[in-house]
Chain A
Amino acid sequence: MPAGAVPDASDALGAHINHDERVVAAAIAALPGIGPQRLRTFIGALGVMSTWHVVRGEVRAPAHIAAVLQHDNLHGVVRRAATSQLLDQMAESLHAGNIRVLLASDAEYPASLRDDFAAPAVLFARGNLAAFTNRRVGIIGTRAASAAGRHFARQLGSDLAQNGVSVVSGLARGIDAAAHRGVISRSADDDDTQRDAPTTTGAPIAVVASGLDVVYPREHAALWQHVAERGVIIGESPPGCAPDAFRFPLRNRILAAVSEILVVVESRATGGSMITVEEAAQRGVTVMAVPGSPHSETSAGTNALISDGAATVCDATDVMVALGLDHHRHAASSDARTRPLPADRVVLDALARRPMTFEQIVAEVNLPLQDVAMSLGRLDAQGWAVVNGGWWEALLAMRAATTV
């Protein structure tokens, strides 16, 4: 730590900083009390290096910046935090996490975001930013998704990726993860078949709330890695930043801004997905929703969106048409599952209405218990039903492949 060995006071006026502008920008983003709004104000008015000098008190601030800094003793707080150690630490984290820093002036800064009224002044990215040149569709939904919802999101993600569309999502539990898993499953196929040929699969784009080196939720570590390898993860939180609750609504605005179309797969009447929808509406991004049963809590939000005029999504074709792409070029997703036996059909029909436990199914279909158990075993093996924590759900065919 060469710079850290120098006492803080000595580099106060010398102001020789060993790091480039991007590291300094990351450090400013990491300062306490400076959120996206203030960051935009400061850097927009002063530029990165001057902002650093201002917060360190080395340069007098313009009046409107000074007014902000005086608020709640912000200046004292940030001055204490803006040390050369912070710069070293940022440089190290950015390097270790393979994280790039993008400023709004950079050519690679996503164009759709640069024009946004609440664009992040400093954007962090891990992966290949070329994904932003693709058509982009956001797939979002509740974390507490039904198995059917996750199945749908996965299929939609997979089909869109196959058509060269980049799927934008938030890497949260439930729908978000399912959508990107669908994308990954596609690009994994690419890897197997034609490693050298230019891939036409839409690269995934993830927009996250925490620092790019802070995997949240932790069980998605492998998924993060896959998305970063095949596409890109972006966010405005500096490295090491925890997934604080207030960061998620902020993340949602970025997600809405980079999407051309936003598809809500499952959502309750209120929640994070609805915040994203709100942000999308403010930006003129088309919102589409997947209809669900009126009995299903997890479809209450999407059904409400549809009654408010959102277009429905029953399969990838609906989205492709909305994007104005020629959807006939590519084969629709085919349902390769074996058709269920007539006896199993009874059980599947019952499951299609709502998720049920084994004992609820037995009561509902009025068949011998052992027969129901055998049917469930077969439906599970054929991929028509899935059990999750004792709750069975049907995985019905998408419209394009309704051959059953």
Chain B
Amino acid sequence: MFATVRSTTLLGVVGRAVDVEVHVGVGLPGFTIVGQPDEVCRESRDRVRAAFLSRGFAWPNRRITVNLAPSGERKGGAGLDLAIAIAVLIADEQLPPHVAERLAFVAELGLDGSLRSVIGAAPLVAAVRDHRVVVARGNVAAARAAGAADVVAARDLAHVIACLRGDDEWLVDTGSEAAADEAPTPDLADVRGQPVARLALEIAAAGAHHLLLVGPPGAGKSMLARRLPGILPALTDDQALSCTMVHSAAHVSMSTSGRVTRPPFRSPHHSISLVGLIGGGTSAMRPGEISLASEGVLFLDELGEFAPSVLDALRQPLEEGVVHVSRARTTLTFPARFLLVAAANPCPCGAGAPGVCVCDDAARAKYVRRFSGPLLDRFDLRVSVGLPRVDDLVDGGKGETSALVAARVLRARAIAVERNGTVNSTVNGTVNGTVNAKIAVDDLDTVAPLAPAARALLRRELEVGRLSGRGLHRVRRVARTIADLDGAPEVVGESHVATALQLRTGLGVLMGGR
């Protein structure tokens, strides 16, 4: 008469355990699902019923009530199909009551009774990690990527029932675990010349500084940006798991194993919507590009072409490392610890150089208005990238490889994390400043003291009004990273500050040098 079977549903990028309760009782024949199912979930009725009939199971012509507990939260997706089917069979006494104990079911049913993969298998399965989880064959890799030990698969509803009755065996081995088979990251050795842009990439990677590349079309801005993930430190296990969850929930896979092992690189097109970038959606809340880029690189090519409202929405996640998406029914929090790299043309005509640029004042002013000052201010590194020199293209040898640069980055970051960690000033319970870009203003004097000459240099910049107070802190953080890459002296020297200043050119680069 009554049965409970364990399944899960997806809330953003986290799975939630759901108890599928089924009551089969007297009354007019009917089939209702309660407990805030969404549209896809409600359609479960028709899929489950069709699967029963096409597999030759008797459909109980009685009053069937399905409750998805806890009923206070909205349930979405087709992953509950199999659990509902099993619960109906138990409640109708076609299966013995104890077969589903310590089991959880996460799969969609086809009308022919076959099991289908679902989106977000990794976070879904993670929510029922202490159970043996039954999934479709296509979800086994993703489910194991979530760290669930006991994952089994089945072909179709009949197979599941046979296994539950003990007449058949679960599918445990679904082919060899696909090793890391992600597409290879492009190598920095392909970049000829461009010493300044290369250094900027290295600093960005070492200190986690956001980077703006400004240069004419064809200067190689995207080429440079794509090589940044290759010099970032490898993901820790926790970071890799978090990335895997987000990618699974968004149904974006970096590899066939479903497991994310390298810092992701996302470069959304500039026509992207606010929801596409930040996350959200009406029924099922999906993570946006900034969450997919979490722990990796978010590359915004043609920054000026993005809708200003979309860019403005980046500011809060940039500060907090997470994004809170609120809708009428729910508020979800997605990770957003990404390194922002953006590219822009210096002006509408693209030439930029004084005397070569043909844009008139009005066109230039209109172009500059597309960039919000507060967003531009968040780029610690603003570098102008010129067209590669002919000599470099034709005669120049290959540049340094990513491996060499990555080794330096790793060393500099290790030094920084150790030093910054000792300061250990906490704000809101989280430790500040493990990477240089996040050093708290109060800690700058402790972890990045300035040599007298460096201090004089900054004083002048402030006096002539080229540097704001906030800009000063950003320059000091970048200078700290440069010093870390340069043998990590305790005191930040004049050359480090001078270089940091040159790597943060005025916003006028977007005005063709006026």
Contacts and interface: CB of A to CB of B under 8 A. Distances in A.
The 10 closest A-B pairs by CB, nearest first: A389-B508, A390-B505, A390-B509, A359-B196, A391-B513, A297-B355, A373-B498, A370-B495, A357-B384, A373-B499
A74 to B, nearest CB: 32
A369 B196 contact: yes
B354 interface: yes
Contacts of B513: 355, 388-391
B506 interface: yes
B384 A359 contact: yes
A371 B196 contact: no
A390 B386 CA distance: 12
Contact of B194 (A354, A359, A381, A390): A359
B133 to A, nearest CB: 54
B399 to A, nearest CB: 14
Nearest to A391: B513
B63 to A, nearest CB: 74
A387 B506 CA distance: 9
Nearest to A377: B498
B383 interface: yes
Interface of B: 193-197, 199, 214, 353-356, 361, 382-386, 389, 457, 460, 466, 486, 494-496, 498-499, 501-503, 505-514
B466 to A, nearest CB: 8
Contacts of B385: 359
Nearest to A268: B355
A391 B353 contact: yes
B498 A357 contact: no
Contact of B386 (A354, A357, A371, A387): A357
Nearest to A389: B508
A373 B501 contact: yes
B501 A377 contact: yes
23 contacts: A143-B361, A144-B361, A297-B355, A298-B354, A298-B355, A355-B353, A358-B505, A359-B195, A359-B197, A359-B386, A369-B196, A373-B499, A373-B501, A373-B502, A374-B494, A377-B498, A387-B466, A388-B514, A389-B505, A389-B507, A389-B513, A390-B214, A390-B384
A296 B353 CA distance: 11
A360 interface: yes
Nearest to A358: B502
A155 interface: no
Nearest to A292: B355
B501 A359 contact: no
B499 A146 contact: no
Contacts, number: 101
Interface residues of A, number: 31
A362 B384 CA distance: 12
A350 B361 CA distance: 28
B460 A370 contact: no
Main DSSP-derived SS at the A contact region: helix
A321 interface: no
Contact of B499 (A173, A355, A369): A369
A369 B383 CA distance: 13
Contacts of A389: 505-514
A372 B194 CA distance: 15
Contacts of B509: 357, 389-391
Interface in A356-382: 357-360, 362-363, 369-374, 376-377, 380-381
A226 B511 CA distance: 28
Contacts of B354: 144, 146, 298, 355, 388, 391, 393
Given A359-B385, A388-B508, A371 B194 contact: no
A21 B511 CA distance: 48
Which residue of A144, A357, A380 has the most chain B CB atoms within 10 A of its CB atom? Answer: A357
A352 to B, nearest CB: 14
Contact of B508 (A358, A362, A380, A390): A390
A74 B210 CA distance: 62
A363 B356 contact: no
B366 to A, nearest CB: 16
Contacts of A298: 354-355
B389 A357 contact: no
A388 to B, nearest CB: 6
Nearest to A372: B502
A185 to B, nearest CB: 16
B196 A358 contact: yes
Contact of A370 (B353, B499, B505, B508): B499
A93 to B, nearest CB: 28
Nearest to B456: A381
B214 to A, nearest CB: 7
Interface string A117-159: 0000000000000000000000000011010000000000000
A303 B503 CA distance: 36
Contacts of B494: 374, 377
A374 B508 contact: no
Interface in A269-283: none
Given A355-B353, A359-B386, A377-B457, 11 more contacts: A143-B361, A144-B354, A144-B514, A357-B509, A373-B498, A377-B498, A380-B460, A387-B466, A390-B384, A391-B353, A391-B509
B351 to A, nearest CB: 11
Contacts of A355: 353-355, 513
A384 B267 CA distance: 42
A298 B199 CA distance: 33
A390 B212 CA distance: 13
A327 to B, nearest CB: 32
A363 B457 contact: no
A358 B354 CA distance: 14
Contact of B502 (A296, A363, A376): A376
Nearest to A386: B464
A197 B4 CA distance: 102
Interface string A199-225: 000000000000000000000000000
A354 B352 CA distance: 13
B193 A381 contact: no
A374 B498 contact: yes
A354 to B, nearest CB: 8
A354 B513 CA distance: 12
Given A358-B505, A390-B508, A370 B498 contact: yes
B206 to A, nearest CB: 15
Which residue of B197, B199, B486, B495 has the most chain A CB atoms within 10 A of its CB atom? Answer: B495
